[in-house]
Amino acid sequence: MKKIENGVSLQPLAGGRPRQIILLLHGFGSNGSDMIALAPSLQQKLPHALFLAPHAPDRCGGGYQWWALSSIAPRDLAAGALMAAPAVDAFIDRKLKQYDLTEADLALIGFSQGTMMALQVGLRRPRPVACIVGYAGLLTSTADLPHNDCPRPPVLLVHGSADPVVPVAAMHAAESELRRLGVDVTTHVSHGIGHTVDPTGLRLGVEFVSAALGASSQPERG
């Protein structure tokens, strides 16, 4: 199994030991530095959170990939996400143990291929994470989920209507499938937006994660 290194992180705004972890999973060919850019917007609502934006384990040009996207056929996407999941799970296990936290203190936020990973891992943890936020991504295979008795976290999916990389139809398909599985899912279409995170989508993500974690809006000052 490949090991995921720490990548880029942002310590709690309030200082002290983290009370929550926000795991940010980047897209294909990107890196943790891109995803950590979301953290400052989240910090004000989550002053006690540690933000972790690891690099995926495989190099891809000037960036990284969770698995090689040699094919976008549904069967190949499902196989890729399944293959990459153990490394993400191991990283999560390591960090929860390091900071003496549980899945209830963990939120997963993904973008594009990172969304695929967030859903792959977050829906299958033995104990539910606090929530999953997926930007501009899609849901790979759920063939094993109907027979999986694990409780599942709430999910927010945000997608641009003009996304040329992952069509917005992928979000609607994911919503339908997640609802069929009994997942509490919220969606938002950002009209006219391409393959990116727009300010409205970011705001919705901040609100969703902070509500799921029951976070205070103000940091405590010692």
pLDDT tens per residue, range 6-44:
789 999 999 999 999 999 999 999 999 999 999 999 999
- Average pLDDT (101-111) is 97
pLDDT at 222 over 70: no
Average pLDDT, the chain: 92
Residues 6+ apart with CB under 8 A from 173: 138, 139
Q: How far apart are CA 117 and CA 114, in angstroms?
A: 5
Taking only the tens place, the pLDDT of each residue in 112-164 is 999 999 999 999 998 999 999 999 999 998 988 876 666 789 999 999 999 99
Domains and CATH numbers, the chain: 8-213 (3.40.50.1820)
Taking only the tens place, the pLDDT of each residue in 51-96 is 999 999 999 988 999 999 888 888 999 999 999 999 999 999 999 9
Beta strand ranges found along 62-162 (DSSP E): 63-65, 106-111, 131-135, 155-160
Q: How far apart are CA 147 and CA 129, in angstroms?
A: 19
DSSP 8-state secondary structure symbol assigned to residue 207: H
Residue with tokens 């930007």: 135
